[in-house]
Amino acid sequence: MTDFIFMVEGTSYMFVTGPEVVKTVTNEDVTKEDLGGSAVHSTRSGVSHGSFRNDVSAMRAVRRLLDFLPSSNDPTTLPEKPATDPPDRLLPALGSLVPDDPNTPYDMKDVMREVVDHGDLFEIMPDMSKNIVTAFARMEGRTVGVVGNNPTTLAGCLDIGASAKAARFVRFCDAFHIPLLTFV
């Protein structure tokens, strides 16, 4: 029913039965936050696409997300900004971001930021399955979805959670005709 859910710490909760029912049925004391707060849904259940400290930061993130998204699934509505980052620019940092030793981890987000326009990467579900990165960015001013294994967590190996996170993101991009940029 919704494509993106953002939650605010301490004020956003989602559960079927509350702490009172849990106490009555299991005699276990549990808080709203532990049962269905933003941390639970942004790190474990995958319901939330982002957790924020306050309403202001959540609304800023919503605005930023909407800046990347088309107004409909019509391919002609994909947002485009003026391309001010030269596509033929040299990227010398790429030579040092990926280590020579294949057993040395590196942060794929650093590599992604080097490649996309102005290093602007808006990550979706940053606290869930950190071994894969899903984000929106721009290339030559056009919105792209970005997906890549992140060697800093589980050596970038795909597990069930990472596969589900990536598949969900790819399906969204496909539904709205957003091109994908993949990093492996």
Domain boundaries, the chain: 1-68, 73-184
CA distances from 120 to 92, 137, 162 (A): 18, 6, 22
- Amino acid sitting at position 114: E
pLDDT of amino acid 120: 95
pLDDT of amino acid 46: 87
Question: Average pLDDT of 54-61?
Answer: 97
pLDDT of amino acid 17: 86
- Identify the top-confidence range among 10-14, 100-104, 136-140: 136-140
Nearest to 176 by CA among 127, 143, 131: 143
pTM value? 0.90
Mean pLDDT of the chain: 93
pLDDT at 1 over 70: no
Reported as a single tens digit per residue, the pLDDT across 133-155 is 999 999 999 999 999 999 999 99
pLDDT of amino acid 87: 84
Fold classification of 73-184 is 2-enoyl-CoA Hydratase; Chain A, domain 1 (3.90.226)
Question: Average pLDDT of 50-73?
Answer: 95
pLDDT of amino acid 124: 98
Question: Average pLDDT of 84-113?
Answer: 91
Question: Average pLDDT of 45-57?
Answer: 93
